Amino acid sequence: MLPEYDFSGKKGVRGKYFDAYQQGHTVRVHQDDGSVTMQYFTLEEGAVMLAPDVREYFPDSESVNQALRGLIGLIPHQARQRKREGSIARTG
């Protein structure tokens, strides 16, 4: 970092924009020609955002998937079967 970026004595706030980011956000891009374009971003279909306290325990997608697969094994077989049948009916 450049010396003029002095962050000594300053403390960041973890998760400060978490709630707002989940709702989506707008980015203004200022072009060299003076025009401004706006882009709106939301989570992609199927994307899941982890809360900051949860993210401490699951640093990547594989760790999240591994934990959830372990939980799936705890769900009673009948409930899993009903869930699968319901998703097949919606997609098929």
Determine, yes or no, domain membership for 70. Answer: yes
| Pairwise CA distance, residues 71 & 67, whole Å | 6
Same domain as 62, residue 87: yes
Q: Would you say residue 1 lies in a domain?
A: no
Q: Are residues 66 and 92 in the same domain?
A: yes
* Number of compact structural domains in the chain: 2
Q: Is residue 6 part of a domain?
A: no
Q: Is residue 86 part of a domain?
A: yes
Q: Is the pTM of this model over 0.75?
A: no
What pLDDT is recorded for position 79?
67
Domain around 69: 58-92
Residue 41 sits in the same domain as residue 70: no
Q: Is residue 32 part of a domain?
A: yes
Output DSSP code: residue 10: -
Q: What is the dihedral of CA 74, 83, 24, 61, to 10 degrees?
A: 40
63/87 same-domain check: yes
Confidence category of residue 15, pLDDT binned at 50, 70, 90: confident
The pLDDT of 73-90, averaged and rounded, is 72
- 24-80 confidence digits (pLDDT tens): 888 899 999 999 999 988 878 888 888 888 988 998 889 999 999 999 888 887 666
